[in-house]
Amino acid sequence: MKLSIPGRAGTAAMVTAVTLLTTGAITGAAPASPLAVAAPDLPVANVKAHLAQLQAIATANGGNRAHGRTGYKASLDYAKAKLDAAGFTTTVQQFTSGGRTGYNLIADWPGGDTNQVVMSGSHLDSVTAGAGINDNGSGSAAVLEAALTVSRTQYQPTKHLRFAWWGAEELGMVGSRYYVNSLTTANRSKISGYLNFDMIGSPNPGYFVYDDDPAIEKTFQNYFAGIGIATEIETEGDGRSDHAPFKNAGIPVGGLFSGADYIKTAAQAAKWGGTSGRAFDACYHSSCDTTSNINDTALDRNGDALAYAVWELSS
């Protein structure tokens, strides 16, 4: 996140009932729309494996994955290789910021209505101070695993799925703004929603949902209500991450956040656990933002909420 300044017995009967409902064969019943495919569990072990790779990349490249540094490009190459092997159509978009070359990675899943695009993204760059594993390896790894799960399950959504990893977010959402500005008016109008995931594994986590587009917000709230987790409206990162250029262009946005350097209150600790009086992420923008700076439960819950929203909004 950018720094802020200032039983079998019933099976046949069930199938028959579903067939009758979907064909309208029950007297007086109108044909129903196809049943939605339930979102799969996003394996947190897989997400953590991606984080381990991002940590290894940072360690081998001067300790960070920042814009214009070798660690960033190596992070992008890692994700791209995984996506190419999984059958995605990938595009690397190049831009310049601060005299250094930056890159966005865009991955499209073949199929679905390209006039209705559900897009999910995260920033892949870190600050120069450290490896950026919570900020924002956590979002990037979860978005990557969601995309790979689409391939693994051979999901065929009604809408078109697009995933993105942004460069130079830490310099002011440079990559995502470049992408949005590069779209024609017609192509902007085809994006029915952009979902942003920036810091979703904070070690002293909160559960925050963006309150931008009501339908996207409700989708995330429904998931967390289903697992008995109360959420709060996200305010700390408002306008400070890659959803902002999309929102400014009139595209519906939403997303999740587990907290940065704001302090967890006693009421929040009572609701979510953790420690009151401490930051949600005491290693925010610091060298200690490593693989040890992740809360597995928050990463798991937010990853599953990500998958739930992608499947719900695209079916």
Residues serving a catalytic function are 169
Which residues, at least 6 apart from 129, have a Cβ–Cβ distance to it below 8 Å?
64, 285, 286, 287, 289
User: d(Cα 100, Cα 109) in Å, to the nearest integer?
Assistant: 30
Nearest to 309, CA basis, from 135, 81, 146: 146
Q: Give the bridge partners for 279, in sequence order.
A: 263
What is the identity of the amino acid at 107?
A: A
Burial 283-304 (b: 16+ CB within 10 A, else e): bbbbeebbbebbbeebbbbbbb
Burial 42-60 (b: 16+ CB within 10 A, else e): bbbebbbebbebbbebbee
Q: Give every strand in the sheet of 208-209, ordered side by side.
A: 89-97, 100-109, 159-166, 113-123, 191-197, 253-257, 208-209, 232-233
